[in-house]
Amino acid sequence: MEREYIRTEKPAPLPFDTRQLKTLDDVFWKKWIFYHLLSFYKNYDNEELKEKIEAERKNKPARIEREIAKFIRLKLKANWEFGLNFSVKGEETNDENVEGNYDITIHNTYWKNKDFFFECKNLDGSQDLVNKYVCCNTYKKDSNGENIFDGGVLRYFNGKYAQNSNFGGMIGFILTGDIPPIKNNLVTRLKEKLHTTPEGDLIKVTDNSIEENSFTFDSLHKRFDKEFIIHHLLFDFSK
């Protein structure tokens, strides 16, 4: 199934000379990774994924977010062109009761940053899931008796994720609802001060940032007195 409305553009070929590969910048590598992610979204089998989601709904607790992330990783691994230059992995734990780090990690040996990390979150139009995507109060207590805050975006600013990079990724899995209002709600939430202020404070949002697709945007933040960019992709799996 090919979705014509999704814009993809194949980047320039990767050179064969390993010395040249080592000189390629982040923009080049990210273009290739976005190409593969967009190609997945453009061509994935909706019925196959729908069956997996419905089967997972029967489990208690249902880990739909984890199942979709696994589905994406398996499809990337099955793509021979992706496998020529990249590897992908996910949570590094076999314990279903423990959340591992990074839902999707894409790697190339010759890339100086080595890894592109993606945190994945379900979205359905509710404020609760918008908060979990960005930042939310878990109402659990730390050793000082203070409430613990968590959330996909927050993890890039509370010391958990991508500490040696100046970028990261978020993929929202839309299970019900429409992209425009959900994206607007996410941007509104991102404009609010995070619990770790000033780490993570929003500088600006660039809309339709990846190949001018309307389901993408970038958010630029403050971190370590520098700038940190998050690339957001909202994949609509509700149809």
77: left (phi over 0), alpha (psi -120 to 50) or beta: alpha
Q: What is the pLDDT of residue 142?
A: 83
Both tokens assigned to 91: 């949570």
Q: What is the pLDDT of residue 1?
A: 63
Q: CA 100, CA 130: separation in Å to the nearest integer? A: 21
Using the 8-state DSSP alphabet, how is residue 12 labeled? P
Q: What is the pLDDT of residue 180?
A: 96
Tokens 């090919």 appear where? 2
Q: What is the pLDDT of residue 153?
A: 96
Beginning with the edge strand found earlier in the chain, give each strand of the sheet holding 87-89 in spatial order. Answer: 87-89, 104-107, 115-123, 167-174, 226-236, 216-223, 202-207
Q: What is the pLDDT of residue 3?
A: 86
CB 197 within 8 A of CB 209: no
Per-10-residue mean pLDDT, the chain, length 239:
87 93 95 98 96 94 94 97 94 49 90 91 96 92 85 93 94 96 97 90 97 98 94 95
Q: CA 108, CA 87: separation in Å to the nearest integer? A: 7
Q: What is the pLDDT of residue 139?
A: 86
Q: CA 207, CA 209: separation in Å to the nearest integer? A: 5
Q: What is the pLDDT of residue 92?
A: 56
